[in-house]
């Protein structure tokens, strides 16, 4: 079987088609990941910026890690905000916005502590 073709997505970075497909499989959602935020950015800054596109459920900032999550009530509002604000400068940094990946939880039929009892 022949290897998958490799395409460049940035200068000096190569990705295979399977890598490109998996990164594009993140579905549109009402939850946005906002990256490259400065340590000075507060929840209120993000609320003010994103609220102009629709009703927000919440904003959670992880300034020490340079990202935040913005939760909209409606997917359409999140999509509009993502498209309009991509690359916007906020307190000196150009923000990057993506739809947040869903969190997967493994459900157990019994409590974990019971599984180790003899």
DSSP-derived secondary structure for 9-58: EETTEEEEHHHHHHHHTPPP-SEEEEES--TT--HHHHHHHHGGGS-EEE
| pLDDT tens sequence across 15-52 | 444 444 444 566 899 999 999 999 999 999 999 999 99
Residues linked to residue 67 through DSSP beta bridges, in sequence order: 35, 62
Name the residue among 46, 58, 45, 52 with its Cα closest to residue 81.
52
Domains defined along the chain, listed by start: 26-99 (3.30.70.330)
pTM of the entire predicted model? 0.67
Higher per-residue confidence, 64 vs 87: 87
Query: Does 1 score more than 70 pLDDT?
Result: no
């Amino acid at each position: 079987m022949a290897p998958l073709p490799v395409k460049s997505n940035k200068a000096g970075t190569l990705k295979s088609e399977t890598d490109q497909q998996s990164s594009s499989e993140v579905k549109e959602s009402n939850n946005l990941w906002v990256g490259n935020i400065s340590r000075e950015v507060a929840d209120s800054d993000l609320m003010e910026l994103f609220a102009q596109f629709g009703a927000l459920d919440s904003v959670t900032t992880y300034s020490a890690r340079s990202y935040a999550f913005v939760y909209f009530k409606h997917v359409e509002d999140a999509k509009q905000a993502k498209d309009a604000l991509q690359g916007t400068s906020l307190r000196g940094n150009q923000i990057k916005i993506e739809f947040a990946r869903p969190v997967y939880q493994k459900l157990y039929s019994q409590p974990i502590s019971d599984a180790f009892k003899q």
